[in-house]
Structure 1
Amino acid sequence: MTALSIVIPVFNERGNIGPLVQEVVQHLRGRIPFDIVCVDDQSQDDTRDVLTALKAEVPELRVLVHQRRSGQSTAIRTGVKHALSPWIATLDGDGQNDPADIPKLLAAREQADAQTKLFAGWRVDRKDTASKRWASRWANRIRQRLLRDDTPDTGCGIKLFERAAFLDLPYFDHMHRYLPALMQRAGWKTVSVPVSHRPRGSGQSKYTNLGRALVGIRDLMGVSWLIQRSHVTPVSEIGTGRKP
């Protein structure tokens, strides 16, 4: 039985995705039963061909292809919906997340209680440009003040979460950046785990600071509204005292 599914959204990552998949295999094979679900979001380079060739070397690899470009959040959700395991680990397709940190997230899960459904990577030593680090620092401060999610870094691509809890969350574009707040809104606990961060090996970032900021403001307002308009209702079954 598959115990962990690694979901990797990819868009134009021909130079990064092969080494990344091989690293996942290196760190997980023999340690835990797993599968890797790569979701190609209509790449315009030969990323799909690279993944197709890689399937011959990596039997754990599965490749899904969007029929139209739909964005990173949709790609993640597609991978989660098709995953074989009740627990999901995500990685960005650019290779900046280190698969060696996945066991660290699994170890944190072992130490946590059953109400903790999300273990979010926290990039303590980012390898991005100075302007990107500055923009991210301010975005995190504004988000924490508004959402009070007690999470220092929601933009980190490496996360570990329960599949059922994720699929129960409200879906919208860019939701992957607000998973801690959304999980907490649903009544679950979240934990931030320090992880490493690496420079991008090849290709270029799919986001600009201005574009990210403009979308982020709208999303912040929406997530804030969701939190204010929701509440968690405990449920027990008559005659058993059990919570369904």
Structure 2
Amino acid sequence: MCDTSIIIPCRNEAENIGALLDEIAGACTEIGPYEIIVIDDASDDGMADILSARMRAMPQLRVIRHDVSGGQSAGVHSGVRAARGTICCTLDGDGQNPGTEIPNMIAPFSGPNGARIGVVAGQRVGRQDTFSKRYASKFANALRAKILKDGTRDTGCGLKAFRRDDFLALPYFDHMHRYLPALFARDGWEVAHVDVSHRARGGGRSHYSNLQRGLVGIVDLMGVAWLLKRRKKSRPTEVVVDRAEG
């Protein structure tokens, strides 16, 4: 039994995954029962061997492997479906999202407004990326915010937290992880924001170029805008009567 499932979708992060797992284990001693689920998105750099060795020493670690690479949203979705915790917290496997931020991400659900929160979205402060990547991200975030009006300045941050069942009620599509605040708001949930730190990649290389992100993002943005306009507007309420009175 666990309260929190920490989900790490990643591909070819052999140089980073070990240190990230150690950091998470050290940071989460006070959050209650938890599990770590790494989704190995068909890696071929030896990461599978590293994870197998880690599983022997970390009973809270589980590994799910994709037979073919499905991308980050597919990884998040596979992890959430397998999760045993009520709350799921995601972060990237490249080490740029510090594992020490996990307690901060799940804390709002225990607050006075916790029952109304659908997703807690991390927003990176002091990003340690190249100028071109920061500029492209800034432009994409501004365009997305203008069209979707999701009130989030940085949806590209991998640190997010949500309830398992509420996430699985969302419509699935590739790249949906970039639009979680808008999708949760579409279903009537409030969105909480937490400023989080960011650091440079420890090893390996990014799997996305600015051009790839941009071309895919345009199509996705139009699709999400379509979903928001066609959301279900009625809310069902079951009628309850005291049958004894009849």
TM-score (norm 1): 0.96
Structure 2 residue 197 is matched with structure 1 residue 221: no
Matches for 1:232-243 after TM superposition, within 5 Å: 232-239=233-240
Match of 2:11 in 1: 11
How many pairs does the alignment contain? 241
**Relative to structure 1, is the Cα distance of residues 42 and 240 closer, same or farther in structure 2, using a 3 angstrom cutoff?**
farther
CA distances 1:154-181 after superposition (whole Å, capped 9, x unpaired): 0000111011111011101000000000
Q: Percent identity?
A: 48
Contact 2:108-2:114 at 8 Å conserved across structures: no
Separation (CA, whole Å) in 2 of partners of 1:70 and 1:31: 31
Between structure 1 and structure 2, the one with the greater Rg is 2
Partners of 1:36 and 1:117 in 2: CA distance = 21
Q: Please, what TM-score do these two structures have when normalized by structure 2?
A: 0.95
1:104 aligns with 2:104: yes
Describe how 1:54-65 pairs up with structure 2 within 5 A: 54-65=54-65
Relative to structure 1, is the Cα distance of residues 141 and 58 closer, same or farther in structure 2, using a 3 angstrom cutoff?
Answer: same
Residue of structure 2 equivalent to 1:189: 190
Write the mapping of 1:86-235 to structure 2, written as runs, cut at 5 A. Answer: 86-111=86-111, 112-235=113-236
Cα pair 1:88 1:162 within 8 Å, conserved: yes
Relative to structure 2, which stretch is displaced further, 111-120 or 193-202? 111-120
Does the Cα contact within 8 Å between 1:108 and 1:193 map onto a contact in 2?
no
Q: 1:215 to 1:236 in 2, by over 3 A?
A: same
1:88-117 deviation digits (Å, cap 9, x = unpaired): 000100000011111112222222331211
Q: Unaligned regions of 5+ residues in structure 1, if any?
A: none
Tell me the distance in 2 between the aligned counterparts of 1:115 and 1:222: 26
**Deviations 1:7-31, CA, capped at 9 Å, x for gaps:** 0011000010111011111011243
Letter of the 1:188 partner, please give it. W
User: Residues 12-31 of structure 1: matches in 2 within 5 Å?
Assistant: 12-31=12-31
